[in-house]
Amino acid sequence: MASTRRLTTAQAILAFLKNQHVERDGKTQPFFAGMLGIFGHGNVAGIGQALQQNPDFPYIMVRNEQAAVHMAAGFAKMSNRLRTWVCTSSIGPGATNMITGAALATINRLPVLLLPGDIFARRNVAPVLQQLESSSTQDIGVNDCFKPVSRYWDRICRPEQVITALPEVMRVLTSPADTGAATLALPQDVQAEAYDFPEELFRKRVWLIRRPQPDAVSLGRAVEAIRGSRRPLIIAGGGVLYSEATEALARFAMQTGIPVAETQAGKGSLAYDHPQCAGAVGATGNSAANRLARDADLVIGLGTRYSDFTTGSMTAFQNPEVRFVNINVAEIDAYKVSAVPLVSDARVALEAMAVALPGYHVAADYAAAVAGLKVAWEQEVDRLFHLGNRPLLSQSEVIGAMWEASGPRDVLLSAAGSHPGDLHKLWRTRSPNGYHLEYGYSCMGYEIPGALGAKLADPSREVFVFLGDGTYLMMPTEIVTAVQEGIKIIIVLVDNHGFASIGGLSESLGSGGFGTRFRRRSAASGQLDGEYLPVDYEANARSLGAYTLKANDLGQLKAALEKAKAADRTTVIVVETEREVRVPGYESWWDVAVAEVSEMPAVRQARECYEEGREKERYHL
Ligand SMILES: Cc1ncc(C[n+]2csc(CCOP(=O)(O)OP(=O)(O)O)c2C)c(N)n1
Ligand SMILES: [Mg+2]
């Protein structure tokens, strides 16, 4: 008879997870670094008990379950999806707190494993604390809300179901095309129930992260399209980094002279000073990449999913003859914009194309135009880095100071507010994964836990977090976790008294920044136009355990950055900036629908501009 091991469901899950490894390019490593979470009655006696008796599987307590998922996602992103963490929660609110994190991970295609506690499978004691009841079925609960935001979802109602569920979880998490959040809802009674599990379930397994080869006919057509083009442009997305294709891309761009524009997830695919690096493209793009995109006759989408920020809401490509070649592990992306689809790993496809294009190089006039655009753009970055705005600094000067203080391997991390747009344009990335933007979900609150995850993934790199006052207030609390675990990150907090980004957007749409300022409500107007709210961000961060510094001018900011680098713990630098001094847009458009009818003249005017802007939106059929 085959041997078995008598374990609780929770113990069996842990025993399985500890033995999962991944392999790529001949290197093998454990897939899970450990578990993050918060205990409640829905997991403390099941998963919690199993964790306690498995000290070789690290457990980190966090302050908010959403943050646990962000931490796992930040870790997975920094690890190029080759490693991640598991997240455990109690039932009810602890579980639903993870839904935002699940959506973020799935949209960014980052592997995370979520184990929300669930209501009793036995049912005889229902309704239990925090149970959602339904008059039409007993087979529903709050964890069903994870379904649309998970790439794999299952509820374990009997212990032996994990024997077939866990391999499915691993298949999805290690799939280059299908990865995202995997959710196993674990009823609290089932977590604690014992079963004789087959010993084989716990053997070491190594999951190969595949590098799919392109179809030969499609490859031939892609090569033909490149040979026939006069103004080709590569758009590098996150897939370049995840596939570790940056060196192959640098060689391919050098060999062919084809310029490379970058999406938020793809920024850092090339070092900023690589001769073919045109930098940020799209709604938050720069003047060089956006002009190249406008006139390109062939766009090669490399590991990109063509979000609206990349395509300028489908206005970025204005050449009537433009055609597309897409290289992507995910079929859904390869087929977008009617492209020649290469359903393939980015590195494999680049290497195959390099071999198939001997002697090919873009024409000298195009190469010269690329070089000229690049020089002009770098001058604009220098201008914005040294704007000299007084009395308050501009945000671009803060970015300049951070860039000058950072080293070539350091990591810049951000997610929401005006920061992603400014950074996409201005940050001069010098090494792969040196630019870490969560811009699939652009989730305020990702920054601090995401940075803790990134730092855990590679402790040898300094992580600079750039965030706003609004974002800080949404989730400052993982600073406590940073102190608990002795993890050091540097947080630069920009205080501009509210939502400069959405406020600016609101103003441009005729709504005057309504509801976006951190000011007292004044009795006279009934609006938020009284004095600034007296939030002391420095005192707040210090109270959570951070080392804090305040910078009132450029000299103080530079000194604070040096002190932060020398510090041995998480440091928060607070710097007040001028809200109204913004980094402009560069020949780009983003579709945000304006009210078609309004009592307000400013809105009617904004609607006219909006309709004009929309005229450039194209289908690529
Ligand atoms: C969780 C979440 N809620 C709301 C938004 C919409 N949103 C995008 S930016 C922003 C304001 C961010 O304010 P702050 O961090 O101060 O940055 P600033 O706009 O001042 O640059 C808001 C509310 C979001 N991205 N994420
Ligand atoms: Mg702000």
Rounded to an integer, the average pLDDT of 415-434 is 98
Model pTM score: 0.98
Nearest ligand to the C-alpha atom of residue 414: 1
Instruction: Tell me the best of 264, 399, 502 to mutate to test the pocket of ligand 1, counting ligand atoms within 8 Å of each CB and taking the most.
Output: 502
Q: Which atom of ligand 1 is nearest to the CA of 468?
A: 15
State the chain's mean pLDDT as an integer: 97
Taking the C-alpha atoms of residue 448 and residue 571, their distance in angstroms, rounded to an integer, is 11
The alpha carbon of 163 and the centre of ligand 2 are apart by a number of angstroms equal to 48
Q: What is the reported pLDDT for 616? A: 96
Mutate to test the pocket of ligand 1, among 499, 506, 533, 579 (most ligand atoms within 8 A of CB): 499
Q: Are strands 194-198 and 4-8 parallel, antiparallel or unpaired?
A: antiparallel
Q: Tens of pLDDT along 579-620?
A: 999 999 999 999 999 999 999 999 999 999 999 999 999 999
Name residues whose C-beta falls within 8 Å of residue 376's C-beta, 6 or more positions apart in sequence: 287, 288
Confidence grade of residue 479 (pLDDT, cut at 50, 70, 90): very high
Q: Does residue 1 surpass a pLDDT of 80?
A: no
pLDDT value at residue 423: 98
For residue 114, which of 139, 89, 91 has the smallest C-alpha distance? 89
Mean pLDDT of 442-467: 98
- pLDDT value at position 216? 98
State the pLDDT at residue 2.
84
- The C-alpha atoms of residue 153 and residue 201 are separated, in whole angstroms, by 20
pLDDT band at 546 (very low <50, low <70, confident <90, very high): very high
pLDDT in tens, 561-575: 999 999 999 999 999
Residue nearest to atom 3 of ligand 1 (CA): 444
* Cβ of 422 below 6 Å from ligand 1: no
Which segments of 86-192 does DSSP mark as H helices, in order?
93-96, 99-107, 161-173, 188-192
Model confidence pLDDT, tens digit, residues 79-131: 999 999 999 999 999 999 999 999 999 999 999 999 999 999 999 999 999 99
**Cβ atoms of residues 9 and 156 within 8 Å:** yes
pLDDT tens for 360-413 read 999 999 999 999 999 999 999 999 999 999 999 999 999 999 999 999 999 999
CA 439–ligand 2 middle distance (angstroms): 17
Ligand 1 pocket member 443 (CB < 6 A): yes
For residue 224, is pLDDT > 80? yes
